[in-house]
């Protein structure tokens, strides 16, 4: 891989992925809305501002830079999608459709899409088998499952090297505000900033399959470097450990004994996180491209404290 286009390139995953790709010698074009542009740009960051719905601009960019891979991360998240479903459809679904067609028309070859466990909907089996039917009940999940299907169509019909990972909740020091799943990340940050209390919008006993951000980034890199012929599935679900609010509270209290979680469940967050499984079968990823996360919950908590101190 010589050149890559990363949409959502100023986001939580996009910036770290871009750094990782650059460290492998890949020239990276990070694409994001101007409002997302970071203040602390790295010297070698090439950031292009624009809207992913502007397919004429993306066509110009692809023709100019000739990427051999697109990492498509630009998206509205769970909360923001539910709040504006028209815009969520345009950004998450229509723009993805247009971008995959541009990838095909310009011989980009490899197209990575970041999907989510929210494509399965609530009340699924736990542990979640990968082949569980995907019937999302939130608009975010509906847009994501639509793109999964479109990607598979373009792969089977036109040979696009479509690759897709379904992430569970991601714990990250850079967790975006628009995700219903971001509260544990924000709780760590609040405690490290000296706050002695934080409102958890989900009951403490509700568990959710979780990954630490560093494992997310290495999964994207390793999967996209994997031999195409060894990938037996169109998409893979990933899992590392179960995380509950009370585990987050306990971990923070060990470090900051005065800290208290205030549990004030919000229906939408409780519904989404309560509906996600604690454990996900990720054996296909482990077998096909040797997926193996480095971080368990304790390792994640230690790293979050280190990064915020
Ligand atoms: N963080 C998680 O828990 C999680 C879990 C599962 C899947 N994902 C997926 O991973 C991807 C990255 O998520 P993230 O955590 O980095 O979120 P993020 O919000 O930090 O990043 C998304 C980026 O997309 C950009 N974007 C939004 N609308 C755009 C538009 N119209 N044009 C151009 N850019 C636009 C945003 O500015 C943002 O920088 C998303 O596709 C998300 O659905 C994230």
pLDDT in tens, 157-179: 999 999 999 999 999 999 887 67
CA of 13 to the centre of ligand 1 (A): 7
CA of 259 to the centre of ligand 1 (A): 30
> Domain map of the chain by residue range?
3-169+212-237, 170-210+240-278+294-308
| 170-210+240-278+294-308: in CATH 3.90.25 | yes
| pLDDT mean over 197-225 | 97
CA of 8 to the centre of ligand 1 (A): 6
What's the length of the chain?
A: 309
Residue 81: CB within 6 Å of ligand 1?
A: no
Give the nearest ligand 1 atom to 9 CA.
39
pLDDT (0 to 100) of residue 178: 64
Residue 14: CB within 6 Å of ligand 1?
A: yes
CA of 10 to the centre of ligand 1 (A): 9
- Interatomic CA distance for residues 58 and 11, integer angstroms: 18
Residue 37: CB within 6 Å of ligand 1?
A: no
- Residue whose C-alpha is closest to residue 162's, from 114, 230, 229, 110: 110
| pLDDT mean over 194-202 | 95
Residue 77: CB within 6 Å of ligand 1?
A: yes
Tens digit of pLDDT for each residue in 233-287?
999 999 999 999 999 999 999 999 999 999 999 998 888 888 899 999 999 999 9
Task: Specify whether the CB–CB gap between 209 and 117 falls below 8 A.
Answer: yes
Question: Considering the entire predicted model, what is its pTM?
Answer: 0.96
Candidate of 30, 39, 41, 77 to mutate for ligand 1, largest count of ligand atoms within 8 Å of Cβ: 77
**What are φ and ψ of residue 54, in 5° steps?**
-90, 85
Strand 161-167, strand 169-171: pairing: unpaired
Residue 75: CB within 6 Å of ligand 1?
A: yes
- Interatomic CA distance for residues 151 and 101, integer angstroms: 10
Give the nearest ligand 1 atom to 52 CA.
32
**What are φ and ψ of residue 195, in 5° steps?**
-75, 135
- Interatomic CA distance for residues 238 and 284, integer angstroms: 9
Q: Would you state the CATH architecture of domain 3-169+212-237?
A: 3-Layer(aba) Sandwich (3.40)
**Quick one: what percent of the chain has pLDDT higher than 70?**
100
- Interatomic CA distance for residues 69 and 2, integer angstroms: 9
Residue 187: CB within 6 Å of ligand 1?
A: no
Give the nearest ligand 1 atom to 13 CA.
16
Protein residue with least CA distance to atom 34, ligand 1 = 32
- Interatomic CA distance for residues 112 and 161, integer angstroms: 8
- pLDDT-derived band at 35, boundaries 50, 70, 90: very high
Helix (H, G, I), strand (E, B) or coil at 125: coil
pLDDT (0 to 100) of residue 142: 98
Cis peptide bond prior to 127, omega within 30° of 0: yes
């Amino acid at each position: 891989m010589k050149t890559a286009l990363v949409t959502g390139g100023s986001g939580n995953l996009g910036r770290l992925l871009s750094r990782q790709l650059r460290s492998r010698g890949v020239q990276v074009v990070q694409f994001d809305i101007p409002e997302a542009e970071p203040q602390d740009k790295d010297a070698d960051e090439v950031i292009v501002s624009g809207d992913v719905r502007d397919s004429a601009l993306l066509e110009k960019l692809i023709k100019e830079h000739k990427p051999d891979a697109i990492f498509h991360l630009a998206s509205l998240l769970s909360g923001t999608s539910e709040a504006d479903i028209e815009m969520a459809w345009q950004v998450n679904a229509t723009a993805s459709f247009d971008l995959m067609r541009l990838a095909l028309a310009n011989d980009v070859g490899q197209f990575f899409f970041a999907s989510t466990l929210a494509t399965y909907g609530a009340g699924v089996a736990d542990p979640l088998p990968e082949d569980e039917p995907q019937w999302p009940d939130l608009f975010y999940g509906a847009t994501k499952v639509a793109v999964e299907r479109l990607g598979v169509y373009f792969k089977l019909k036109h040979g696009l090297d479509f690759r897709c990972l379904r992430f569970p909740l991601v714990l990250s020091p850079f967790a975006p505000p628009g995700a219903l799943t971001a509260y544990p990340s924000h709780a760590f940050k609040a405690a490290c900033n000296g706050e002695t209390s934080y409102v958890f919008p989900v009951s403490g006993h509700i568990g959710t399959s979780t990954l630490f951000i560093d494992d997310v980034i290495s999964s994207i890199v390793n999967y996209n470097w994997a031999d195409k012929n060894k990938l037996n599935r169109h998409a893979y679900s990933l899992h590392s450990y179960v995380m509950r609010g009370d585990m987050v509270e306990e971990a923070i209290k060990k470090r900051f004994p005065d800290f208290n979680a205030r549990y004030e469940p919000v229906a939408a967050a409780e519904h989404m996180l309560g509906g996600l499984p604690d454990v996900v079968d990720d054996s296909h990823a482990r077998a096909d491209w040797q997926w193996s996360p480095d971080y368990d919950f304790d390792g994640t908590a230690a790293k979050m404290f280190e990064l915020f101190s």
